[in-house]
Amino acid sequence: MPSITQPAISPAVFEDTSVAFAAKTDHQLRKTYWLFAMMNRAGLVNLGTFFIKLALRLHLPIKKLIRSTIYEQFCGGETIRECEGTIRHLSESGIGTILDYSIEGEDDEAVFEQTTTEILRTIDRAATSKDIPFTVFKVSGIAPSALLEKVQRKADLSSAETQAYARVVARVERLCSQANLRSVRIFFDGEESWIQEVIDDLAYTMMARYNSRQAIVFNTYQLYRHDVLDAYKNAYLNARKNNYLLGGKLVRGAYMDKERVRARENNYRSPIHVTKADTDRDYDAAVDFSLEHIDFIEVCLGTHNEASCLHCAEKMQKLGLKCGDSRVWFAQLLGMSDNLSYNLANLGYNVAKYVPYGPIDSVMPYLFRRAEENKSIAGQSSREFLLVKREMGRRNLGVV
């Protein structure tokens, strides 16, 4: 039997708010408390989202308010330079940064080129510091979603569309080539099922090219889909057959409502599991599979689920893997689940935070999704609020 390399951890470790919020001043903790108090009320989230969208559309002067509240909680800044304080702050607690240029919803060749250039800057910045263990991009951020969907359907492309897709492939190659040149790991983010297959194809092409000695390119596996666990195992088999390492980022998924609506409207079976229990089962099975094949897979658990983090830690212990094994990472979003990030890092596990950045106007779709996720994930907002409230009480700051 393999030797045990670290003590067992229990669910109680994630209750330690003194570690989870040690990096926050009393003032910062109070601001977080009030923000989550508001986000814990679905009606306020809906109303606030509506008025913020309206105010931005009317060019009303509310950016200062946004910057000092929701933007400050979930984003690092408008530029990489503005993120430096966050990078340093996280590093002091043993947590890495994943710079995420969070521009969404654009459909313009000039913007795609600008976005590609900015992601290249994140790669170059990551190459200079061990505090930035991964970079990330969305293919839909550098390509028209409609074109990706058409390619996935294997529809005939016009001459202009063929040229446009060639530019998409070239952008992906530029990013992965630079990541390989600078020895920086790069995530392909997960997206909607109607464009995910073409994204998978691009990711596997890049893996075959650059993952021969180490996992540079990682694909994202959304385990709320009923077909993805098998797809992940098949990706491993294909990687073994073609002599490269599989890089896997495991998430549950972010497009559940959109996926189900589209499936219903177009009369096909939804790709989403019927129950959350099915998703949880497949997620933990993917974790087990990764760790059992760790000589050929490098894995990052992108999750806010305490049970899955605990499951991974226990599985690592059972297999005799060190908690700081460089092939296993945990990742959470900036501003969320600090009880997971800081306590795991405190125990010696590899942890990174996604740090979104970009102009306030352009990042608002990302921020609206964060608010919606806190509202829609059962108990998530209440959980965040409860932990902050508990720490407020521990510090005798007073709560209402």
Q: DSSP assignment of 22-46, as one string? A: TTS-HHHHHHHHHHHHHHT-HHHHH
The arrangement of secondary structure in 77-368, i.e. its CATH architecture, is: Alpha-Beta Barrel (3.20)
pLDDT for 358: 93
* pLDDT at 49 (0 to 100): 59
Residues 6+ apart with CB under 8 A from 207: 215, 217, 219, 239, 244, 245, 246, 247
Tokens linked to 355:
């740090």
Which structure tokens are listed for 189? Answer: 């983010």
What is the model's pLDDT at position 365? 75
pLDDT score, position 369: 65
Which residues of the chain, if any, have pLDDT below 70? Answer: 1-8, 40-62, 104-105, 369-381, 399-400
**Nearest partner of 244 among 218, 275, 213, 221, judged by Cα:** 213
- pLDDT per position as a tens digit, 219-261: 999 999 999 999 999 999 999 999 999 999 999 998 888 999 9
Q: Where are the domains of the chain?
A: 77-368
Q: Is pTM beyond 0.75 here?
A: yes
Helix (H, G, I), strand (E, B) or coil at 158: coil
What pLDDT, on the 0 to 100 scale, is given for residue 2?
41
What DSSP letter does each residue of 59-101 carry, written as one string? T-S-HHHHIIIIIHHH--BSSHHHHHHHHHHHHTTT-EEEEEE
In angstroms, what CA-CA distances link 341 with 88, 203, 267?
15, 27, 41
